Structure 1
Amino acid sequence: MDPATLSIEKTAIPGLLVVHLPMHPDNRGWFKENWQRAKMTALGLPDFAPVQNNMSFNATAGATRGLHAEPWDKLVSVACGKIFGAWVDLRAGASFGRVVTVEMGPETAVYVPRGVGNGYQALVDGTTYTYLVNEHWSAAAKSSYTFANLADPQIGIDWPIPLERAELSEADRHHPALADVTPFPSSRTVVLGANGQLGTSLRKLLGADNADDAASRKRPGRVEFLSREEIDLARPETIDAYDWDGVDTLINAAAYTAVDAAEAADNRPTAWAVNVTAVRHLVEIARRHRITLVHISSDYVFDGTREVHTEEEPFSPLGVYGTTKAAADELVATWARHYILRTSWVVGHGHNFVATMAGLARRGVSPTVVDDQFGRLTFSDDIAAAIGHLLAVDAPYGSYNISSDGPTRSWYDIARRIFEILGAKGTVSPVSTQEYFAQHSASQAKASQASAGTSSATPIAPRPTHSTLDLGRIRSTGFTPADGDAQLRRYLATDVPPH
């Protein structure tokens, strides 16, 4: 490797990175950039947001420290002298017990993810070891360290200076053998809106067998599914009160989605509280704990004048719901580690357009359906699959459109297709959006007057005419959107009750 070029190499321990630092010598000594955020993150070092810089001075060769796995990430390096660095993965998982060693001078740094045991031995007198960490040290934090013994033959570190001639602390001499170590817990994923359409699909994908008791929720690698009873987005204090330590990924599958009801004056504050104020709290939590935030957006952030919407299109919402979703997207985008998945015409488990049409078809009812709104269905199972894919491949952060693939259709076209697939005897009639909602409002008013003598029709939210989403960006990550017609057939066969 060119010693004048900054470079980063992966190691056998997942996430442990060796950084080769260019040294700039002159007649006075040398200069180096020990932490350079822009250059290093561009090469793949996590933007780990250090908050504290520590140093340890080792007076004589043979001073040895470790092995300590801490609840924070760190970047270790040498200010002067030379060390033999040793790392053992103490995290729960397949790489538990794996060892990496590196001899280091000032020209080398190592990025150590939380849960990887860190140790080193000074090789020359007067060695100064330095490290950046992204949590403030406290006595309480030390209680969550995971330790392993430097001399354990199962770990098998070949220390250059034998440990019987080295200088160790009494505490380090008596750390447990690897066989007795309780693994450092893997980071947790939290899903909000566990009982909604997408939440149900995420349960199927990420593990529906997770128990609901508090003890099991702390198991390594756990996915926690939280319902509205546990975190209510209308009450931000429930967000702030939750213990976010150890959470790596937060999937927000909850939202206020009653598009028409959001237009009513009494409901607007709730729609804003759930879709905007709560999201602001989630972004603050994600930033504070360096959590990857996955958020679900909507085609309603656009006015629908463009026939196909890309991720770069400026927001132009028509109604209250669309305005709250656009505002939330802007908030989420202020945090670097985010995925925004923009969807359209969502169909999941529970009440939805497809289930309604299927019910009418099976009862022989002939509905009237609007024929001047155009888009594609998005099945909640496919949204869940897209989320899982983006996280699994470590896709670039940002916004991604996700819907079914295939031709753009109107709601009328989709309803006809449902009747065709089910072999229904009824027929579907087309109607314009304006006429449909005029008829609907008149029917509501008539029913209201008959029952109470007054009219209190539910307001109607404006709809985007065109909701088709461009799928090129998510395809570029290796994800293949499902064929819409095939998914519709599958959904009618497996997810819609026969009666």
Structure 2
Amino acid sequence: MTEYGKKLAITETPIPGLVVFDLPVHGDSRGWFKENWQREKMLPLGLPDFGPVQNNISFNDAVGTTRGIHAEPWDKYVSVATGRIFGAWVDLREGPSFGAVYTTELDPSKAIYVPRGVGNSYQTLEPDTAYTYLVNDHWSPDAAYSFLNLADETAAIEWPIPLDRVEISEKDQNHPRLSGVTPIPPKRILVTGANGQLGRALREEFGDVPWVEYATRDALDIAGTELDGARRWRDYGTIINAAAYTAVDRAETAQGRAEAWAGNVTALANLARVATAHGITLVHVSSDYVFDGTKEGPYTETDPVSPLGVYGQTKAAGDAIAATVPRHYIIRTSWVIGDGNNFVRTMASLAERGVDPKVVDDQTGRLTFTSTIAAAIHHLLDARAAYGVYNVTNDGEPQSWYDIARAVFELTGHDVRRVSPVSTADYFANAAGPVAPRPANSVLDVSTLVATGYTPTTAGDELSRYLRPGHERG
């Protein structure tokens, strides 16, 4: 019999992401009522916001009706409208939990969320059982499916009614044993801007695995008009946008302004549209240039933006667009150093060539190494951190560009007295072309990131490592 009066509650299982819900059922002599799926109440308990697009019902006349173990590339929310089932779930996803098994009975007072790639099967325990499930994708002949034999000895499912006494389809009887199952791979991760400084760091962080795709502009024009049909987007779970227009001074010219808006805004709008339509997590990398630098103390994620120049305006506009995507991470960073031309390499080259530079001393911030950004992005995705804005820089005491230049000279064995301080105004006084305004304060507070369990290393330690002879910089 259906159990009345339960409180809404969630129970985790040995299969990661597979969770059981106790559902309040209210009944009397006339029958019963329940809220079978209630997004607002269930999300705080731990149900993913999985975005169902279809509701299916399987009606079963007889006791012992048994359905095979099928794993599809979408999420399910399974419940029973009438009757009772014995359910069995087997993890058929690629990874360490492959082959894990969970079984339980479901009646109208119980439901279960089945993540993508977990094999789902059941056996009816009462006649006239209506098995119902929500799914967040539509069936496709091109999708990747996996199946497991109901009698697999490794899974060793203890079916209440022996399989030789129940009705099973011939197809289900002939599914492979666990050793012959093709695991369901993770949803794909797309990294745009794969040849840039951050793109190369992301390659190093995520590695060459089949489900991570690295796209250059030549392979995928994210600012173009054909992005919607450029990929089978239902196969992607995350887009990490490492592509950006970063020529801050050129952005102040007529041509540069158009290029900056195309690269940082139009492209973001295209990615946001695709991500929203297909439930994809969008990771967007932002900049300290969204602030005017007049604040005393570090900027937090909730400080209002007030960009000074065109580049900062395009990054702020991109942030606003990215924030409309239901699943988004906006990564605010500053003073980026990676595998490519950058301030640190310039200073090291000047020191080696005997050039004594004048370096700005009235802008303050922290260096951010691309390896730190890539590792922080990986952490936020793996930890399923709350969506939103995260400041990501290396830690340590804030410094000026002048301080950093002196540190580069010292670490490379050169006299720090060769570096002279200069104000921003004097440094750019005789510039040949337009100069973008720079925020005087670019210090970002990283405590929100630290609260998720990721503590960035200090900028000084990373600078020493970066300049170490033989180190592959990134």
| Alignment TM-score, normalising by the size of structure 2 | 0.94
Tell me the equivalent position of 1:42: 44
Which of 440, 448, 452 is equivalent to 1:465? 440
Tell me the equivalent position of 1:182: 182
Distance, in Å, in 1 between the alignment partners of 2:197 and 2:56 is 47
Structure 1 residue 124: Cα displacement? 0.7
1:101 is paired with a residue whose SS is: strand
Whether 2:70 is the aligned partner of 1:79: answer no
Structure 1 residue 260: Cα displacement? 0.8
Tell me the equivalent position of 2:349: 359
State the AA in 2 paired with 1:166: V
Tell me the equivalent position of 2:162: 162
Distance, in Å, in 2 between the alignment partners of 1:237 and 1:428 is 50
Deviations 1:11-36 (A, max 9, x none): 11111111111111133211111111
2:4–2:25 CA contact under 8 A, matched in 1: no
2:4–2:27 CA contact under 8 A, matched in 1: no
Distance, in Å, in 1 between the alignment partners of 2:222 and 2:144 is 30
State the AA in 2 paired with 1:17: V
Distance, in Å, in 2 between the alignment partners of 1:88 and 1:336 is 30
Which of 327, 337, 344 is equivalent to 2:334? 344
Q: Which runs of 4+ in 1 moved over 3 A?
A: 494-498
Structure 1 residue 278: Cα displacement? 1.1
Distance, in Å, in 2 between the alignment partners of 1:279 and 1:241 is 15
2:14–2:100 CA contact under 8 A, matched in 1: yes
- Larger mean CA deviation between 459-468 and 419-428 belongs to 419-428
Tell me the equivalent position of 1:403: 393
1:469 is paired with a residue whose SS is: coil
1:235 is paired with a residue whose SS is: coil
Distance, in Å, in 1 between the alignment partners of 2:163 and 2:364 is 72
1:61-140 aligned at under 5 Å gives the runs 61-138=63-140, 140=141
Distance, in Å, in 1 between the alignment partners of 2:383 and 2:203 is 20
Structure 1 residue 182: Cα displacement? 1.5
Cα RMSD, aligned residues only: 2.0
2:319 is paired with a residue whose SS is: helix
1:280–1:331 CA contact under 8 A, matched in 2: yes
Query: Identity rate of aligned residues, in percent?
Result: 59
Cα distance change of structure 1 residues 160 and 181 upon mapping to structure 2, 3 Å threshold: same
State the AA in 1 paired with 2:257: R
Structure 1 residue 86: Cα displacement? 0.8
State the AA in 2 paired with 1:435: D
State the AA in 2 paired with 1:34: N
Which of 219, 223, 248 is equivalent to 1:234? 223
Whether 2:260 is the aligned partner of 1:271: answer yes
Distance, in Å, in 2 between the alignment partners of 1:100 and 1:287 is 33
Structure 1 residue 90: Cα displacement? 1.4
Which of 378, 389, 395 is equivalent to 2:379? 389
2:4–2:26 CA contact under 8 A, matched in 1: no
1:7–1:20 CA contact under 8 A, matched in 2: yes
Whether 2:29 is the aligned partner of 1:18: answer no
- Larger mean CA deviation between 177-186 and 363-372 belongs to 177-186
2:467 is paired with a residue whose SS is: helix
Tell me the equivalent position of 2:409: 419
Cα distance change of structure 1 residues 103 and 352 upon mapping to structure 2, 3 Å threshold: same
1:493 is paired with a residue whose SS is: coil
Distance, in Å, in 2 between the alignment partners of 1:237 and 1:496 is 40
Cα distance change of structure 1 residues 148 and 375 upon mapping to structure 2, 3 Å threshold: same
- Larger mean CA deviation between 326-335 and 1-10 belongs to 1-10
Structure 1 residue 495: Cα displacement? 7.3
| Alignment TM-score, normalising by the size of structure 1 | 0.90
Cα distance change of structure 1 residues 496 and 316 upon mapping to structure 2, 3 Å threshold: farther
1:295 is paired with a residue whose SS is: strand
Distance, in Å, in 1 between the alignment partners of 2:20 and 2:314 is 44
State the AA in 2 paired with 1:353: F
Distance, in Å, in 1 between the alignment partners of 2:368 and 2:23 is 47
Cα distance change of structure 1 residues 198 and 2 upon mapping to structure 2, 3 Å threshold: farther
Distance, in Å, in 2 between the alignment partners of 1:383 and 1:97 is 34
- The runs of 5 or more residues in structure 1 that have no matched partner are 211-216, 445-456
State the AA in 2 paired with 1:282: L
Tell me the equivalent position of 1:260: 249
Tell me the equivalent position of 1:451: none
1:345–1:376 CA contact under 8 A, matched in 2: yes
Distance, in Å, in 2 between the alignment partners of 1:95 and 1:420 is 49
1:231–1:239 CA contact under 8 A, matched in 2: no
1:240–1:281 CA contact under 8 A, matched in 2: no
1:294 is paired with a residue whose SS is: strand
Which of 445, 452, 461 is equivalent to 1:486? 461
State the AA in 2 paired with 1:4: K
2:8–2:22 CA contact under 8 A, matched in 1: yes
Structure 1 residue 122: Cα displacement? 0.9
Tell me the equivalent position of 2:324: 334
2:227–2:270 CA contact under 8 A, matched in 1: no
1:266 is paired with a residue whose SS is: helix
Which of 315, 318, 322 is equivalent to 1:325? 315
1:236–1:278 CA contact under 8 A, matched in 2: no
How many residue pairs are counted as aligned between the two chains?
A: 469
Tell me the equivalent position of 2:427: 436
Distance, in Å, in 2 between the alignment partners of 1:486 and 1:276 is 35
Whether 2:425 is the aligned partner of 1:477: answer no
Whether 2:8 is the aligned partner of 1:6: answer yes
